Amino acid sequence: MINKPLIIIGGSGHGSVIEACIKDNRNRYGDLEWDLKGFCNDYDTEVDGYPVFGGLSDLPRLVEQGYWFIWGIHLIGRNYKTAELYDSLQIPKEKLATVVHHTAFIDDTVTLEHGCFVMYNAYIAPRTHIGESVMVKANTNIGHDVNIGRLSHIAMGSTIVSCVNIGECADVAVSATALAHTNIGNYAMLSASALATHNIPEGEIWSGIPAKFLKNMNRQ
């Protein structure tokens, strides 16, 4: 099926990155699977020249109208709130779009759950599992036998070495590295350019080389 009508849930920022991927896949690679119609959020009337079809409360109506959706909201430093918002919307899984840029390498043993987004030049090695509505940004390296929980955000230039477990709605920030056999808990964050050599507990933010506890994640 081609030209499936798609709405990005979110705005400029993460949403614009997803928009750029869809446009590039169409323009350079002739990939017509997704036809981006616009955005849905509570703040804008248009984003990057695309219309905003209503607020988040309008999602049930948009589902009935036959649209597909991709999640483009990740509240950095407010990961609990991101998950709470996502769950409240109850988006049907079969209406979540998976969008992958054509320059990404994804081994054929990798599992991508509904709603994943994988950007330019990402590498995902064998037997890795990427959970529902995870965002994998440009120039990331994800090793073999990695498990990434739903709603997590793997930022630009980050590296996740093999046999790493990342929980739900967690962050691996820009240019951060998680070494093999480390765990990053639910709602936790490995800060920009940090190096995880030990496990990061749930809801904690770690930074530095090697990474150490910085503070707890905001629950509001």
Assign domain 99-216 to its CATH superfamily: Hexapeptide repeat proteins (2.160.10.10)
Beta-strand ranges (E) seen in 41-193 are 46-47, 50-51, 68-71, 99-100, 105-106, 111-112, 117-118, 123-124, 129-130, 135-136, 141-142, 147-148, 153-154, 159-160, 165-166, 171-172, 177-178, 183-184, 189-190
Q: Which residues of the chain have pLDDT under 50?
A: none
Q: What is the pLDDT of residue 219?
A: 87
Could you state, in order of their start, the residue ranges of all structural domains in the chain? 4-73, 99-216
DSSP for 104-124 reads -EE-TT-EE-TT-EE-TT-EE
User: Token match 């043993």: residue?
Assistant: 109
Amino acid 126: pLDDT: 98
Write phi, then psi, for 105 (nearest 5 degrees).
Answer: -105, 120
Backbone angles phi, psi at 93, to 5 degrees: -60, -35
Pairing assessment for the beta strands 46-47 and 50-51 based on DSSP bridges: antiparallel
The pLDDT assigned to 35 comes to: 98
Query: For residues 113 and 103, what is the distance between their CA atoms, to the nearest angstrom?
Result: 19
CATH topology of domain 4-73: Rossmann fold (3.40.50)
Q: What is the pLDDT of residue 176?
A: 98
Give the per-residue pLDDT at 162: 98
**pTM, whole model, 2 decimals?**
0.96
